[in-house]
Structure 1
Amino acid sequence: MSSKPTLMTLPREIRDSIYEFYVAADGGYVCNPEKLAEKILNEHRNEANLDVPGILQRADLQPIDLNLSYTCKLVAQEMSGVALRTNTITFSTVSSTELRILAERFNHFMVKRFDGDRDGAFRFAGFAMPEIERQGLKLKYPQFAPLLDRMKQEGNTHPETRLTTGWDGLAQWYRTGGGRFRSRMGPYGEAPSLYRTFQKDALTAIASSRFGREQIERFWRETCPKSAHLIPALRVVECKIQHWAVPSAEDMRYLTLDQASNSRSRGTRLRDRTKYRFSAAAVAIHVLQCLPVSSRMHLRRVILNEDREAVADPQCHGLGLIPFCKENPLLRVERRVSLWRNAFQTDTAYRSPDARYKPKYRYTPWAMDSAQVTHNVASWVIEALALEPAGMPSGSFSLLLDGQPVPWQCTQVFQLIVQRDAAWQAAWLLSLDRGILPSLSWFDRKGELRGSRVPDLPSEKWPQALRDIAEGTSIVRCNFDVGDSWDVEKIVEDHRQWTVQQWMAGLDKREPPTWEPDAPLPSWREIIGENLVYVEPEDDVSSANSDDETYSDEDDS
């Protein structure tokens, strides 16, 4: 009589199927946001490394069971990596009462300070770039060649390059157009992340000569007089910290320029109740960096659920995944962006979700602003399309614009606003190309002075990008019908007699001007309120009746 078969007597392919069935979790694995937030904060307190196994859990909330792998050495060897190969791992945006303060401070120093200082230094000292370095940058970044040529031609004659000593000189610089919030603005039709990378490389090139370093140091002395004698000017230029970082304690010491006074933030003072979050991409990158290479090579599918707004220009955070996708060609990353609770919410009229919720600051209707929809959607798409040129392997990354739970309303928004804006932009460009409108300089066409002499439009790549999405040939897709394209030729012909000013006015006329979400979504005001930390009324120093909390970025400078 033959003995009963055991696991080890079965063929290997059957054993492999058993292993996969054993570890498979309904919905795969997810990152536990509470545990992750706690561990990130512990890293800051204790400089400890992240314990990855402790933050992953099954999506059905059942414990991860790998006990079968402990039965014998051979089973352990055969099951190695099976759980990671079998299960999709999903990351979402992360915040907590304490972590939101870290996220806010990181955003303040990384975006408002370092990015702003680099932008100002680049435009102030650009003329000092050595010729050999300028030629090298033109080869590396041909899309910015006209900008580099103009910097050389203007030399130090433009107001951006003229400063006199002290605050009076700085004020004069701002008044004459040199200030970073006035005058010339990038990214000249490219993804903002590419323009920032170009600026970093340009500043490095400028700093390669003594004269260039002197100009950067001069800019630093005039714009940061309180700390210039303590902090090297090149610290901002040489910063290696990326926007997609979940910053370490060491990173924050670098970004805050080691100034203890900067430890106070709007979050700690309760002046801003925003739930500042780290993006799902930043969280995934942070976790993957803590995994050994041997474990990362088993990963097959990662979903980045960008369910809420996040800090530090989250649209570009896919760049941080390029090394992992190169390392593991079998890894597939899908980034999902909620339109209603993320992409649609960005509102340039307000400095924070907290400000846009307060009645005393609210000067626009309590509804989604049609004028900002296209820019908000395009910002995610343009950054996604910039990934492959930056090194992302083909087929490794995709972006989903998530219209749930009201996909039918997203179709309406796209048909009436997004498709309309893309068609009008295409008609504007055709009118320029055909000489119907007066020709524009390269700089005006690229939107350097957008909103003043020319319309404020997305990248020229946007109309074609939307067509590719509609035709299913893009790495970007939607889970709703994006609507039909408008007749571009008709728009051109109907407005042949229009001036540039009339085009600017016409581009801004959208119907309807605002949107209120359909059920089952709550009202727009309630959706905005979901981004705020609840504060007991007696503890809320940011009440609508208080006029002494007006926040200035200089409070943290």
Structure 2
Amino acid sequence: MPLETLLDVPRASFLGLPLEIRQQIYSEYFTTEGGYIYDVETDKLVQANRCPIDLSLRHVCRTIALETYHCPFTLNNITFSTAYRRDWRKQAAAVDFISTYHHFLQLSMLIRLRHCLTSDMYEQPIKQYSKYMPLIVKGIADIISRERRSPKFNAELLEMVHIRDFMERPGSDSKAGNPLAISIYDNNVSRNRTYAYLLRKIANQYPEKFKEAIDKFLPGWTDCKPRPASDFFSLGFDLWAIPSLPQVTAMVEQLQLTERWDRLDQWHYSEVGKEGFSGTKYCYQRKHFFSAAALAIRFLNNISQAQRLFINNLILNEDRMAVGHPECHIIGMIPFVEENPSLLIKHKVNLWRNILPRSAKIEVSSFPTTNESNVDLPESVPSPHQVFSNWAGKEISHFIMHTMEALREGLPATSYSFVFDGEPDSNHSTETFKYLMELPIAWITNHTDCVAEGLLASPESSGYPFMTVPSSDEHISGRERTSIIECNFTLDQPWDYKHIAGNDNRNINRWKTLDKVHRFANETDGEYADKLDVSNGIVDWMKIKGEYFEMKLLSDVPGAATKALDSSGSLSE
């Protein structure tokens, strides 16, 4: 063909293709197998195979960049898993102890200022304060009543007892609480904001008394703060916060917790003078993980609103226990779901690596001795491969009930699914879950609104108590479902509610509280079958516990950086 003819043939152009064809090409190009995952080491999103995300097509020209602006987030699930980094360890640990101390500080401040509370401060509170308000008001009224009845009653001791206990006991902590049996000692979103609400009321009406109270618990506060009262309300972190090192050190200094902060640098070792103890070889530091929800919240806060609105699917993989009462963290996701109604969240909580470690309270006070000795334990104590079954069951129930709390806080049920994750052994998960939870779930079905609010399936449903879903995270969809709570292992559904509950619910109505159901559910022949065998070959309980510790040879760590644990697990002085 002559050259002149070739020059007359129009060249193929990608942008000359129909838009539908281009969109199909974009979909093939930008969709990656497994979607995107958060990589803790780089603090970035990467492909599921850990390779960098390839967006080079977007750089070809302005038109393609505009046409594909939404593609990476719209076409891919984004998965966050719990994360530990050595350089984040102290910050994560600080979230726990700062949260605990701050919630005790709120309690002590309100007791101290009890006579400043007036009925107009707490009558007819708006809904977000209504849950804990009656309990707080009654508690304060009881203290004042005791003062009047007994001249010897020392309320000042009551003001200080929790803070003093926190300072003197390094292992003291707080709990999010049981939503079915609330307490002024709960450390959760609803309780803490109610205390802050009342303290603000007092600060506005009695500013001088409020400043005096702050100086009682934080000596010198009013001398170094230009706005003592308002600065007080900036103390503490959200339970799902991932603060920077400067933010943590500043908060530690303001709360006067430097000694507690410095203790986090210590390595601990066991010193047990009992037969079977082979001698200390290692020293330990506890690893502290940030939750998947906390990491997702941090990520979403760091991108633009336009980018957030392109995200369709988030997977929160809570595969380790984390700091900051993570059963409450999904509440921190509510603003993003309100902003983007198309956002779907799949929230996975692992049974073996998260729920059971939470129930067993894996701490540096006990693990070193267990890891390095063959000391015979009393029959009343679980072996190194066991946990107390009632404690494990309670943790499962707490996740169920705190999910209901999140719905009441405003989490849309259509945007959220909670999945009990049985990896790595689905068969062991089936047996364990049924053993721990048949009677408690029947009790929850009868005594709470979990069925009415859609957390559990109806007892008449073939999916009762909740559905089994595939383990794969490839797709999240708005499929028909019988419950918000699901599991990725079979429960041999449906459970026979009438058989479990008994005639006229006699098997569950004999207990007034869910905690008592867990305590006595496995009673047999007058003995408590209260220990659960965790290790089975696939699940290794000692290995799982070991995942929560940094370990070094004791000989490799300077003596000044180590601290001995005595036979009780306490720090030796």
Secondary structure, in 3 states, of the residue corresponding to 2:338? helix
Q: Which whole-Å CA distance do the structure 2 matches of 1:260 and 1:497 have between them?
A: 46
Residue 131 of structure 1: CA displacement?
Answer: 1.8
SS at match of 1:278: coil
Which residue pairs with 1:88 in the alignment? 77
Partner of residue 294 from structure 2, selected from 282, 299, 311:
282
Match of 1:29 among 23, 33, 36: 36
**2:95/2:241 contact within 8 Å kept:** no
1:207 alignment partner in structure 2: 203
Matched residue, 1:114: 102
Alpha carbon RMSD of aligned pairs, Å? 4.2
Which one is further off, 542-551 or 311-320?
542-551
CA pair 504-87 structure 1, distance change in 2 beyond 3 A: closer
Question: Offset at 1:172?
Answer: 12
1:102-251 pair list within 5 angstroms: 102-110=91-99, 112-122=100-110, 125=113, 128-137=116-125, 140-144=128-132, 146-147=134-135, 150-151=138-139, 153-154=141-142, 156-158=144-146, 170=160, 189=181, 192-210=188-206, 214=209, 217-218=212-213, 220=214, 232=228, 235-239=231-235, 241-249=237-245, 251=247
The secondary structure found in structure 2 opposite 1:353 is coil
Aligned to 1:265: 262
Following TM superposition, by how much is the alpha carbon of 1:193 offset from its aligned partner in structure 2, in angstroms? 3.2
1:240-269, Cα deviation, whole Å (9 max, x unpaired): 631111113453245314358347433312
Asked if the contact 2:441–2:465 (Cα under 8 Å) also holds between the matched residues in 1, the reply is no
Q: How far off is 1:410 after superposition?
A: 1.7
SS at match of 2:401: helix
Q: 1:254 to 1:542 in 2, by over 3 A?
A: closer
State the alpha-carbon separation in 2 of the partners of residues 289 and 498 from structure 1. Answer: 44
The equivalent residue for 1:377 is 396
Is 1:529 the counterpart of 2:529 in the alignment?
Answer: no
> What's the CA shift for 1:308?
0.8
**Per-residue deviation, residues 152-183 of structure 1 (Å, max 9, x unmatched):** 754612479998598799569999xxxx999x
Q: Deviations over 1:482-522 (max 9, x none)?
A: 3534532449647999999x999745735362222333222
**Distance between the aligned counterparts of 2:101 and 2:162, measured in 1?**
21
Name 1:415's counterpart in structure 2.
Answer: 434
In the other structure, the counterpart of 1:451 is none
The residue that corresponds to 1:476 in the other structure is 485
Q: How does 1:334-373 map to 2 (within 5 A)?
A: 334-347=346-359, 350=361, 352-359=362-369, 364-366=382-384, 367-373=386-392
**1:163/1:169 contact within 8 Å kept:** no
Q: Distance in 1 between matches of 2:512 and 2:315?
A: 47
| Residue 312 of structure 2 corresponds to residue 300 of structure 1 | yes
Residues 229 and 384 of structure 1: is their aligned pair in 2 closer, same or farther, counting only changes over 3 Å? same
Larger Rg: 2
CA drift at 1:310: 0.8
**1:530–1:491 CA distance, 2 compared to 1 (3 A):** farther
**Cα distance between partner residues in 1 of 2:365 and 2:41:** 26
Alignment equivalent of 1:310, drawn from 315, 322, 328: 322
Q: Percent identity?
A: 22
State the match for 2:278 in structure 1: none
1:110-137 CA distance string (max 9 Å, x none): 2x21122223334554563232221132
**Alignment gaps of 5+ in structure 2:** 166-171, 269-283, 372-376, 459-463, 468-481
- Alignment of 1:77 with 2:59, yes or no, is no
Query: Which range moved further: 227-236 or 312-321?
Result: 227-236
Which of 23, 48, 51 aligns to 1:16? It is 23
For these two proteins, the number of residue pairs brought into alignment is: 492
Distance in 1 (alpha carbons) for counterparts of 2:508 and 2:315? 45
Once the two structures are superposed, the pairs formed by residues 452-531 of structure 1 within 5 Å of their partners are: 470-472=465-467, 473-482=482-491, 484=495, 485=497, 487-490=500-503, 493=506, 506-507=520-521, 509=523, 511=529, 513-522=531-540, 524-531=541-548
1:60 aligned partner: 49
CA distance in 2 between counterparts of 1:216 and 1:551 reads 36
- Provide the TM-score with structure 2 as the length reference: 0.73
CA distance in 1, matches of 2:538, 2:42: 30
